[in-house]
Amino acid sequence: MSPQPAMPRSWRVDTKPHKFCPGCGHGLILKCLGQVIDELEIQGRLIFGCDIGCSLLSWDFFNLDTIQTHHGRTVPVMTGLKRARPDLLCIAYMGDGGGYSIGAQHLVNAAARNEKITVILANNTQYAMTGGQMAPTTLPGQKTETSPYGRDPELTGFPLQGPEMVGAIGREGVYSARGSVGNLRQLRRFLKKALENQIEGRGFSFVEALSACPTNWRTNAVETWSFIEKEMPKYFKTGEIKVPGAGREEVANG
């Protein structure tokens, strides 16, 4: 037995070690995704789209055909691709700034139109690539470069509830869930169900993954895990928000 578990087969070995910071959540999310891709055996018909922000660093992460697009625009690029080639499977991978702020109109309308694509969004509560500014997901009181005294909900609102929003917009066929890098088994399950939703042609699927950014959070390992497992769940409940065919939601918290 090798001392380390094997990389997913769908990973591109020659681009490893990956480009993310130590402690970053992207590697964990993409590992879960890689394992699900392997399990579903879809590497030959899956197109991976990534956004701007740290997610762009995944542009050569997989042995998948990949398109790195503009900030917030991965959903329309993958929508256009899927509409032109419905036989392909399309993933749009992005951060919370791309999905909930600059690209919010695309996320909302893709969900409303029930586009048969899968959106995976890493929520690390701020803009990481640009140096840690406040995002729609920043927690009340959380200090960022543009909320140096802590986010004041009076001035800038409360953290945006992405999967709940998608669940509210989406009609029959939409899958929406929130997982966490703190529970990889669950995250893997949600990612698999999201992709199965697309494979079976039911409709739009969306998974938010609570992620970590110790670089911009300025946290050590203990503080990082504490933030993911204790602070973030105060505003972001993990679980399935919407599952095609009612009554099958996996409701969990933290």
* CB of 66 vs other proteins, minimal distance in Å: 4
Phi, psi at residue 183, to the nearest 5°? -145, 85
Please state, in angstroms and rounded to a whole number, the distance separating the CA atoms of residues 81 and 67.
10
DSSP letters, 159-186, are PP-HHHHHHHH--TT-EEEEEETTBHHH
> Out of 7, 21, 23, 65, which residue is the one contacting other proteins (CB under 8 A)?
65
- Sole window of 27-35, 65-73, 236-244, 246-254 interacting with other proteins (rule: CB under 8 A): 65-73
* Binders in 9-48 for other proteins, by CB under 8 A: 10, 12, 43-45, 47
> Out of 56, 120, 121, 187, which residue is the one contacting other proteins (CB under 8 A)?
56
Instruction: Output 74 or 142, the one with its CB closest to other proteins.
Output: 74
Phi/psi class of residue 23: alpha, beta or left (left: φ > 0; alpha: ψ in -120 to 50)? left
Contact flag: residue 174 with other proteins (CB under 8 A): no
Contact flag: residue 164 with other proteins (CB under 8 A): no
Buried b (16+ CB within 10 A) or exposed e, 219-247: beeeebbebbeebbbeebbbbbbbbbeee
Instruction: Output 111 or 207, the one with its CB closest to other proteins.
Output: 111
* Binders in 83-102 for other proteins, by CB under 8 A: 83-85, 88
Q: Is the peptide bond before 76 cis (omega within 30 degrees of 0)?
A: no
> Out of 29, 64, 187, 194, which residue is the one contacting other proteins (CB under 8 A)?
64
Instruction: Output 103 or 179, the one with its CB closest to other proteins.
Output: 103
- Nearby residues of 185 by Cβ (< 8 Å), 6 or more positions away: none
> Out of 78, 121, 160, 169, which residue is the one contacting other proteins (CB under 8 A)?
78
DSSP letters, 9-57, are TTB-GGG-S-SSPTT-SHHHHHHHHHHHHHHHT-GGGEEEEE-SSGGGG
> Out of 35, 66, 118, 161, which residue is the one contacting other proteins (CB under 8 A)?
66
Count residues near other proteins (CB under 8 A): 35
What is the residue type of 42? I
* Binders in 104-123 for other proteins, by CB under 8 A: 105-106, 108-109
106 in Cβ contact with 76 (< 8 Å):
yes
> Out of 59, 146, 164, 196, which residue is the one contacting other proteins (CB under 8 A)?
59
Contact flag: residue 80 with other proteins (CB under 8 A): yes
69 in Cβ contact with 51 (< 8 Å):
yes
- Sole window of 52-60, 156-164, 179-187, 202-210 interacting with other proteins (rule: CB under 8 A): 52-60
